[in-house]
Structure 1
Amino acid sequence: MALHRFEKGELGHWLRIVADNSEPVALETRLPTHVAEALQTLRCIDPGPDGGWRITDKGKLALRMEEPGAIHLR
């Protein structure tokens, strides 16, 4: 099992990169292997049909919770 201790804001940073990579005009940024394994273990990303990573619903929720206006931060 991949174990990675994410620092504050790091999870959102890597998830944002995966989300941005799925945009049609984005320059693809590669994820470090240990980060990709950790995000896959957390079920925040899955391998896509094109060989890249795609963000899961759980990953999208984690991204929303990282936003400054998130309801739990009010």
Structure 2
Amino acid sequence: MKHLKSTNASDKDLEQFKSDAQEIVKYLVGMFKDLQFYMFRTMDTEAGMAYAYYPEGALAPIFLYIKWGLKEVKF
């Protein structure tokens, strides 16, 4: 929330984040026992995390990222 405010996000974006955050937490808590957690090497708690899980019978994981924690980069 602090980061969004520092980027001059609109009130609409802040409200959308609050709404999305509640849904994200419910989803992640619901599948907590199946998740693997990935952090940056610096272990910065303010930085984003990636979450991974293996669907039944899968050989490769599916990674989950929180949209609000990503930064768009154009190539």
Structure 1 length-normalised TM: 0.30
Higher relative contact order (CA 8 A, sep 6+): 1
Max radius of gyration: which structure?
Answer: 2
Structure 2 length-normalised TM: 0.30
